[in-house]
Amino acid sequence: MSDDFLFAEETNDVEEFDGRNTWKILIVDDEPEIHTVTRLALSDFTFQERHLEFVSAYSGEEAKQAFRDHSDIAIVLLDVVMESDHAGLEVAKYIREDLKNNYTRIILRTGQPGQAPERDVIINYDINDYKSKTELTAQKLFTVIISTLRSYRDIVVIDESRQGLEKIIKSSANLFSLHSLEQFIEGIVQQLSSLLGGTEDAVYMTSAVAGPSPIDNIESGEYLVFSGSGEYSRYEGKKLAEVLSGPRLESCRKALSSKNIVYGDDHVVAFCKSKFERGALLYMSGLPRRLSDLDRSMIDIFAQNVQIAFDNVLLTKDIEDTQKEVIERLGQAIDDATFQQGNHIKRVILISEILGKSFGLSEDEVKTLRIAVPLHDIGKIAIPQSIINKPSKLSDDEAAMVKNHTKIGYNILKNSKRPVIKAAALIARDHHEHWDGQGYPRGLKGEEISVFSRITAIADVYDSLRSQRVYKESWSDAEAQRYMQQQRGKQFDPFLIDIFMQKIDDIEQIVVELADKSES
Which residues are marked as active site? 380
Alpha helices in 221-373 (DSSP H): 240-243, 246-258, 293-338, 344-359, 363-372
Closest by CA position to 413, among listed 491, 332, 331? 331
What is the rounded distance in angstroms from the CA atom of residue 340 to the CA atom of residue 348?
15
DSSP string, 373-413: GGGTTGGGGGS-HHHHT-SSPPPHHHHHHHHTHHHHHHHHH
DSSP string, 256-280: HHHTSEEE-SSEEEEEE--SSSS-E
Three-state DSSP class for residue 170: helix
Q: Residue 458: CA atoms inside 13 Å, Cβ hemisphere, count?
A: 36
C-alpha distances in angstroms, 335 versus 328, 344, 372, 433, 499? 10, 7, 15, 21, 27
The residue type found at 298 is M
Three-state DSSP class for residue 100: coil
What is the rounded distance in angstroms from the CA atom of residue 29 to the CA atom of residue 309?
53
What is the rounded distance in angstroms from the CA atom of residue 511 to the CA atom of residue 350?
10
What is the rounded distance in angstroms from the CA atom of residue 296 to the CA atom of residue 301?
9
Closest by CA position to 131, among listed 68, 77, 178? 77
Inter-residue contact 494 to 446 (CB < 8 Å)? no
What is the rounded distance in angstroms from the CA atom of residue 136 to the CA atom of residue 80?
15
Inter-residue contact 240 to 252 (CB < 8 Å)? yes
Spatial CB neighbours of 515, under 8 Å, sequence gap ≥ 6:
343
Angle CA 26–30–36, to nearest 5? 60
Inter-residue contact 23 to 52 (CB < 8 Å)? yes
Residue 494 CA from chain centroid, whole number:
34
Inter-residue contact 493 to 435 (CB < 8 Å)? yes
Inter-residue contact 258 to 246 (CB < 8 Å)? no
Long-range (24+ apart) CB contacts under 8 A made by 261-270 are 261/296, 261/299, 261/300, 261/303, 263/291, 263/296, 268/299, 270/299, 270/300, 270/302, 270/303
